[in-house]
């Protein structure tokens, strides 16, 4: 679907009729012949006059008389004629995007938090070619049509959209963001980024639910396991990796009840299934780095600055009375790696810090003497020994490892009584710890010793021993490419409700960041 190229060619198109008002049509998607050839169309209507040249777009379905959507008017002779169209699409996506139930956007007006600045869009329009801008526009157009077709139009229009538009273009949601999308996120800000990514997550969740229900979508498109986006950047002495993935697109590692690859829910748990499906993992991994130029080598230092894992509940109504809607997965393992690009020969060594000890023991010993004086048979003094051992177990176990010159940082959630790793735990596995583990992590978002925030998220910001690389001195003045990646496991078992359902899912991201070895750049 190269809709943007068609739009850009419209002002100079030879197909325009000489009338004062003329119209051209772009066919977006068609049904099968057995459904009377229903077609989704975008029509461009141009109005000529002596002092103006205006262009507007209208979204139609072929058998409908009325338009389902109309764009703002574009001034063809202006410096940036299609800026109003792009601004309108993005702003309408933001205004309709789902919110996380624990987000501050549920209490503050969206007009204050998610106001799109025209400069953030005009800049990317001016700085990118039509060929590079086209994938970005297609994503925005697909997202805008989702709210229109899936929510504001008859069901047969939604079916047309999912089958003939979203399914053929699904691969666009299974890779790293395009350079234009990255630039847009940087210029528009984090509030707009979250609105866009939560819209993408909601779209993909609905498509995956339809596909799993057996509506025929599974016959039209291949299966994508890692739908969602991730990207990395270097800024102000930080390497930052951001990742977004709807829960249903994450790879299932283990589940207690599986039938033909899908978990089995009882009828009474259908609300639980619906609630768990509408989650999206939103991860931010920040590593602080520094560069020291020594006499004979260059020393690169890195340490964890901040890791934030947010399990966002995507929806529109916060139902406090339904306990199933508050159930969510929780992070159970986070694996981060950072290091030089593959095949790099300029790194001479890697130095790791110490892995965190999981258990601390404190022993107290008290002695009392017992003795008699003289010939008396009644003891005047007694002696006894008492030993007290206190054991303190950390909920999160931190380890450091390496793969060549790539440093690996691994955080694993453990039950502080049994020591069981939650990402590897399988209920009823015969280890005898199932009941204890279940009790330890019930009501896991309340209490002074909880492992997560009250909203079910996880933040790590403690100081941790860093890692070091030594590089050849000849690399000074270069800007190197450094690999950064993350792998996150999330686990679910009941928190406030009674259910036997259990599962663990995983998602993996990888990207490149810059390592400047230029004097003054750090």
Q: Which residues contact 489 (CB under 8 A, 6 or more apart)?
A: 253, 331, 332, 333, 334, 423, 504, 505, 506
DSSP string, 403-471: ETTEEEEEEEEB-TTT--BTTT--TTSSSS-HHHHHHHTTTTTSSTT-SS-TTS-EEE------EEEEE
Cα–Cα nearest to 26, from 55, 56, 3, 54: 3
Q: Which residues contact 432 (CB under 8 A, 6 or more apart)?
A: none
Domain spans of the chain, in order of start: 1-222, 225-356+394-522, 359-390
Give the C-alpha separation, 184 to 435, whole Å: 49
**Predicted pLDDT at 111:** 47
Question: Stretch 414-425: mean pLDDT, rounded?
Answer: 80
Pairing status of strand 39-48 against strand 53-61? antiparallel
Give the C-alpha separation, 202 to 209, whole Å: 11
Give the 3-state secondary structure of residue 214.
coil
Question: Stretch 285-314: mean pLDDT, rounded?
Answer: 92
105, pLDDT greater than 60? no
Instruction: Spell out the long-range contacts of 75-81 with Cβ–Cβ below 8 A and sequence spacing 24 or more.
Output: 76/11, 76/46, 77/53, 80/122, 80/125, 80/126, 81/11, 81/55
> Is residue 419 within 8 Å of 396, Cβ to Cβ?
no
Give the C-alpha separation, 398 to 380, whole Å: 53
Tell me the whole-structure pTM to 2 decimals: 0.85
Q: What is the pLDDT of residues 261-289, one digit of tens each?
A: 555 556 567 888 888 999 999 999 999 99
**Predicted pLDDT at 15:** 74
Q: Which of 133-137, 242-246, 374-378, 395-399 has the lowest mean pLDDT?
A: 374-378
Give the C-alpha separation, 336 to 282, whole Å: 15
Q: What is the mean pLDDT of the chain?
A: 81
Please state, as a whole number, how many other Cβ atoms lie within 10 Å of the Cβ of residue 143: 22
């Amino acid at each position: 679907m190269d809709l943007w190229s068609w739009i850009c060619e419209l002002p100079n198109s030879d197909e325009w009729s000489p009338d004062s008002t003329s119209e051209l049509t772009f066919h977006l998607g068609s049904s099968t012949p057995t459904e009377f050839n229903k077609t989704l169309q975008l029509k461009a209507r141009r109005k000529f006059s002596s002092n103006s040249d205006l262009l507007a777009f209208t979204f139609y379905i072929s058998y409908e008389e009325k338009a389902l959507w109309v764009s703002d008017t574009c001034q063809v002779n202006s410096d940036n004629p299609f800026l109003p169209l792009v601004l309108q699409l993005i702003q309408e996506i933001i205004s309709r995007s789902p919110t996380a139930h624990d987000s501050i956007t549920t209490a503050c007006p969206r007009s204050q938090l998610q106001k799109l600045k025209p400069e953030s869009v005009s800049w990317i329009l001016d700085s990118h070619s039509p060929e590079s801008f086209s994938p970005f526009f297609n994503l925005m157009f697909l997202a805008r049509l989702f709210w229109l077709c899936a929510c504001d139009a008859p069901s047969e229009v939604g079916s047309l959209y999912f089958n003939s538009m979203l399914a053929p273009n699904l691969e666009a949601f299974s890779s790293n963001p395009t350079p234009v999308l990255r630039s847009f996120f940087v210029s528009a800000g984090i509030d707009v980024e979250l609105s866009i990514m939560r819209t993408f997550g909601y779209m993909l969740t609905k498509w995956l639910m339809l596909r799993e229900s057996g509506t025929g979508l599974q016959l039209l498109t291949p299966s994508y396991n890692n739908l969602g986006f991730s990207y990395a950047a270097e800024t102000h002495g930080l390497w930052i990796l951001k990742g977004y993935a709807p829960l249903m697109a994450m790879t299932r590692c283990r589940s207690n009840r599986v039938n033909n690859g899908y978990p089995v829910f009882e009828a009474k748990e259908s609300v639980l299934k619906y609630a768990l499906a509408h989650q999206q993992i939103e991860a931010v991994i920040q590593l602080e780095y520094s560069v020291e130029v020594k006499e004979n080598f260059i020393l690169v230092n890195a340490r964890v600055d901040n890791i934030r894992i947010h399990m966002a509940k995507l929806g529109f109504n916060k139902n406090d009375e339904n306990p199933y809607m508050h159930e969510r997965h929780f992070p159970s393992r986070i694996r981060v790696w950072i290091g030089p690009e593959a095949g790099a020969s300029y790194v001479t060594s890697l130095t790791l810090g110490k892995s965190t000890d999981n258990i601390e023991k404190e022993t107290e010993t008290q002695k009392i003497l017992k003795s008699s004086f003289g010939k008396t048979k009644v003891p005047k003094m007694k002696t006894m020994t008492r030993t007290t051992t206190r054991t303190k177990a950390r909920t999160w176990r931190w380890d450091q490892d390496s793969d060549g010159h790539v440093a690996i940082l691994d955080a694993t959630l453990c039950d502080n009584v049994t020591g069981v790793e939650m990402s590897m735990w399988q209920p009823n596995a015969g280890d005898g710890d199932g009941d204890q583990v279940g009790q330890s992590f019930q009501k896991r978002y309340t209490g002074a010793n909880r492992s997560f925030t009250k909203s079910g998220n996880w933040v790590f910001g403690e100081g941790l021993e860093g890692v070091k690389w030594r590089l050849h001195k000849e690399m000074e003045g270069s800007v190197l490419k450094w690999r950064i990646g993350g792998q996150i496991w999330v686990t679910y078992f009941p928190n406030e409700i009674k259910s036997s359902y259990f599962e663990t899912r995983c998602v993996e991201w990888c990207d490149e960041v810059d390592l400047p070895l230029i004097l003054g750049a750090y």
